[in-house]
Amino acid sequence: MENDWRELVRKNDLLAIAQQRVTKQMSKDEIERRISVFIKNHNMCVLCTARDNIPRATPIEYWADGTILYMVADPGTKLENVKANPRVGVGIYDPLVGSLSVKGMQITGEAAILTDDNPEYDEALIMHRRELVGEEIGDYKPPRGRAVIKIEAKKIEFIDIALKLDGYDLRYVWEA
In tens, the pLDDT along 116-127 reads 999 898 889 888
Radius of gyration of the chain (CA): 19
- Number of domain units in the chain: 1
Supply the pTM of this predicted model: 0.85
Residue 38 covered by a domain: yes
Residues 6+ apart with CB under 8 A from 123: none
Residue 100 covered by a domain: yes
Residue 95 covered by a domain: yes
What would the mean pLDDT of 44-60 be, rounded to a whole number? 96
Residue 19 covered by a domain: no
In tens, the pLDDT along 82-99 reads 999 999 999 999 998 877
CA 110/CA 20 separation, integer angstroms: 35
User: What percentage of the chain reaches a pLDDT higher than 90?
Assistant: 62
Q: Which of 17-21, 27-31, 150-154 has the highest mean pLDDT?
A: 150-154
Residue 66 covered by a domain: yes
In CATH, what number is assigned to the domain containing residue 54?
2.30.110.10
Domain that includes residue 79, residue range: 30-162
